[in-house]
């Protein structure tokens, strides 16, 4: 009977001790890095901004979305930095080249090079980058 009366104290003690210990365990097994998705509050830091700036630079969009075809000239794509192949394209004027980048050019050139998250201005900047390297 005397032991039973101690039970509430025992329970209170266990809860009081177990709480901090559990926090400590969670902290200890916590992963080194957290997944942080674009749009989440944790992604608002400077680091993420720096990363996304790099990710949307003309060079990196080119590497991700255009280089597959334009590095090697696949399917008749004008090759990056090939002045002779770009010359007839340049004669069309930049506005036409921008439109081809944004809306595609049948049959081989897909709209936005299939970079669907790219804005029209992103694509224009990539076209500028390609043209600057190819004349």
d(CA 70, CA 109): 10
Query: Of the candidates 133, 6, 111, 135, which has an alpha carbon nearest to the alpha carbon of residue 58?
Result: 133
Answer for which of 80, 125, 127, 134 binds ligand HEC (CB under 6 A) is 127
Check residue 133 for interaction with ligand HEC (CB under 6 A). no
Check residue 66 for interaction with ligand HEC (CB under 6 A). yes
- Closer of 13 and 96 to ligand HEC (Cβ): 96
Q: Are 112 and 62 in contact (CB under 8 A)?
A: no
d(CA 37, CA 54): 16
- Closer of 42 and 72 to ligand HEC (Cβ): 72
- Closer of 44 and 74 to ligand HEC (Cβ): 74
105 backbone dihedrals φ, ψ, rounded to 5°: -145, 110
Check residue 58 for interaction with ligand HEC (CB under 6 A). no
Tokens of 29: 């097994």
Q: Which residues bind ligand HEC (CB under 6 A)?
A: 61, 65-66, 68-70, 74-78, 89, 92, 96-97, 100-101, 105, 108-110, 112-113, 115, 123, 126-127
């Amino acid at each position: 009977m005397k032991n039973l009366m101690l039970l509430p104290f025992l329970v209170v003690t266990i809860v009081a001790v177990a709480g901090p210990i559990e926090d400590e365990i969670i902290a200890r097994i916590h992963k080194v890095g957290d997944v942080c998705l674009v749009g989440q509050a944790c992604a608002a830091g400077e680091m993420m901004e720096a990363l996304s700036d790099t990710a949307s630079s003309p060079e990196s969009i080119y590497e991700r979305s255009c280089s597959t075809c334009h590095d090697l000239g696949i399917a008749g794509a004008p090759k990056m930095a090939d002045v002779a192949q770009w010359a007839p394209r340049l004669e069309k004027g930049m506005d036409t080249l921008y439109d081809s980048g944004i809306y595609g050019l049948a049959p081989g050139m897909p709209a936005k090079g299939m970079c669907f998250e790219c804005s029209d201005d992103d694509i224009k900047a990539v076209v500028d980058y390609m043209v600057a390297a190819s004349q």
